[in-house]
Amino acid sequence: MHYFKPLIPMLIIAITWALPAQAMPESFADLAAEQADAVVNISTTQHIKQGPQGLPPGFGFPQGSPFEGFNDFFRNMPQQQQEKHSLGTGFVISADGYVVTNNHVVDGADEVVVKMRDGTELQAKVIGTDPKLDVALLKVKGKKLKTVKIGNSDGLRVGDWVVAIGNPFGLSQTVTAGIVSAKGRVIGSGPYDDFIQTDAAINPGNSGGPLFNIKGEVVGINTAIYSRSGGNNGIGFAIPINLARPILDELREKGHVTRARLGVHITDVDKETMNALGLKSREGALVPQVEAGSAADKAGIRAGDVIVAIDGETIHKAHDLPIRVARHTPGDKVKLDIVRDGKNKSLTVTVEAMPDEQVAHNGAQQVDKSKVRLGVIAENLSPDLAARLRTRVKTGVVVQQVQQGMPAANAGIQRGDVIYRINGKDVSDMAGFSKLIGQFKHGDVLRVMMDRSGDQVFALVKLPKKSD
């Protein structure tokens, strides 16, 4: 022990000097009291219809029986309706009633009720959602509502104190405190994972609630937990508010999100690639493929380039790039720093709209009106796509994705098919496609003509009945 005696005074000085600027507060009571009225409880109801119960196969009254007529009675019994309820948390961001929560809290809900701290219950309208980031924006009728103050999540440091307020397990407002355990966590929930990890207790029911810094500013939206038991294990995740803010602004203005993209396929830089390309480190996003006619292609990005920064912000790994691009809107100009053949180079790219987000914009309103869904994501057929797909048709919509179990998949429609006529009516672009689909009803059968690599393909798409 005597060997360490000379170091003790230095250690004391070092520890004193290194004390964090954000020291542990004596209490979080003032923060909790100040923010309590801006945090709300969210309850949702989903109506689930069950088919007629009827009689089991092989059962019934024999033909000629005086009770034979009851067979049809039992077969045609009305549908039974059940209700599925869920609970979550939200927070008010404007005095006129805009409320933020998670998409998974309100997804599929037929009714959404926001309960204020004083017990007032208000019917909420879902203004828009973004499933990829898992955020939703609601609107209630209100005046001079208490609102939260939005902070800067980029300023958070690992070890900073944070406070979560929510309604775990359906209990009324509960306040928990902890620290930022990590930043930039990827948990496999989607392409925009960039979570704040905290050990502040977060449990089921906290979803959509605010994560505050000690100044009382919202820095995150509590979203997920890591748990083997279903309860809190000290590992909770929150969406950084800086990532959510532009999405919320767009939902408020347009009701939907149109994301930006470059049009490149990317992957991490491994050791072999680093050596082969003469890179100094494994940082950056390697571009193995550039989509023809995309924003990246037009700007001169080439396969084999390594993107190392965007707008001066370092890209440490491939996952960082889509998160940074997502902060922009289509039409924005971004500066990319790349390494090509061992040399540094800068390019300016005008980012474009992501195709599946464009479909959501063009078709969502028509789909919502009829409640009919084909289960496809498509985009306009461009000359470049027509050449790559070797199509004979020059106009139509290209199927980019087919959702399993939906009508399009059941009819055998495949990725890369070009839909150019439905029920004898030409489909020239996404606007016409969306308008046409919006005219159909449950139970309709669609005659779909497609071009598949130059071959003509015909499919009958049976839309499910409303009770299905």
Encode pLDDT of 104-160 as tens digits.
Answer: 999 888 899 999 988 899 999 999 999 889 999 999 998 899 999 999 999 999 999
Catalytic (active-site) positions = 104, 134, 207
Is residue 328 one of the residues assigned to a domain? Answer: yes
In the chain, % of residues over pLDDT 70: 81
For residue 126, the domain's CATH number is 2.40.10.120
Residue 140 maps to a domain = yes
Radius of gyration over every alpha carbon of the chain, rounded to an integer in angstroms? 27
* Domain shared by 339 and 382, yes or no: no
pTM of the model: 0.62
446 band by pLDDT with thresholds 50, 70 and 90 = confident
Is 64 among the domain residues? no
More confident residue, 360 or 97: 97
Summarize pLDDT for 39-86 with one digit per residue, the tens: 999 999 887 655 555 445 444 455 555 555 555 555 555 555 566 677
- Residue 4 resides in a domain: no
Same domain, 283 and 349: yes
| Total count of domains within the chain | 3
Query: Are 47 and 144 members of one domain?
Result: yes
Q: What is the pLDDT of residues 233-257, one digit of tens each?
A: 778 999 999 999 989 999 999 888 8
CA 170 to chain centre: 24
**Burial state string for 321-341 with b = 16 or more CB within 10 A and e = fewer than 16:** bbbbbbbbebeeebebbbbbe
In this structure, the answer to whether residues 325 and 370 fall within a common structural domain is no
Last residue within a domain, chosen from 225, 256, 287: 256
- Do 364 and 318 reside in the same domain of the chain? no
Distance, C-alpha 30 to centroid of its chain:
33
Looking up tokens 């019934």 gives 60
| 125 and 205, same domain (yes or no) | yes
Within-domain flag for 426: yes
Q: Is 207 annotated as a binding residue?
A: yes
Q: Answer yes or no: is 247 within a domain.
A: yes
Q: Are residues 239 and 284 in the same domain?
A: no
What is the CATH classification number for the domain harbouring 375? 2.30.42.10
User: What own/partner pairs with CB < 8 Å and gap ≥ 24 does 274-281 have?
Assistant: 277/304, 277/306, 277/339, 277/341, 277/342, 278/342, 279/306, 279/339, 279/342
Distance between CA 378 and CA 129 in Å, rounded?
20
Q: Which of 256, 281, 297 is the last residue of a domain?
A: 256
Looking at the structure, do residues 40 and 125 belong to the same domain, yes or no?
A: yes
Residue 338 lies in a domain: yes
**Count helices and strands in the chain by DSSP H and E runs:** 12, 28
The residue to which tokens 């009324």 are assigned: 172
Say whether both 382 and 458 belong to one domain.
yes
Q: Which long-range contacts (CB under 8 A, 24 or more apart) does 396-404 make?
A: 396/420, 396/427, 396/428, 396/451, 397/427, 397/429, 397/430, 397/433, 400/355, 400/356, 400/376, 401/356, 401/376, 401/377, 402/375, 402/376, 403/375, 403/376, 404/375
Find how far residue 380's CA is from the centre of its chain: 23
Is 328 annotated in some ligand binding site?
no
| Residue 21, domain member (yes or no) | no
Contact 379, 397 (CB under 8 A): yes
- Its domain, for residue 405, covers 355-462
Strands (E), 93-158: 98-101, 111-115, 121-123, 125-130, 135-139, 149-150
Give the domain-ending residue among 297, 318, 353. Answer: 353
Residues 242 and 371 in one domain: no
What pLDDT score was predicted for residue 4?
A: 33
Please check if 316 is assigned to a binding site: no
Same domain, 359 and 323: no
Do 246 and 276 share a domain, yes or no?
A: no
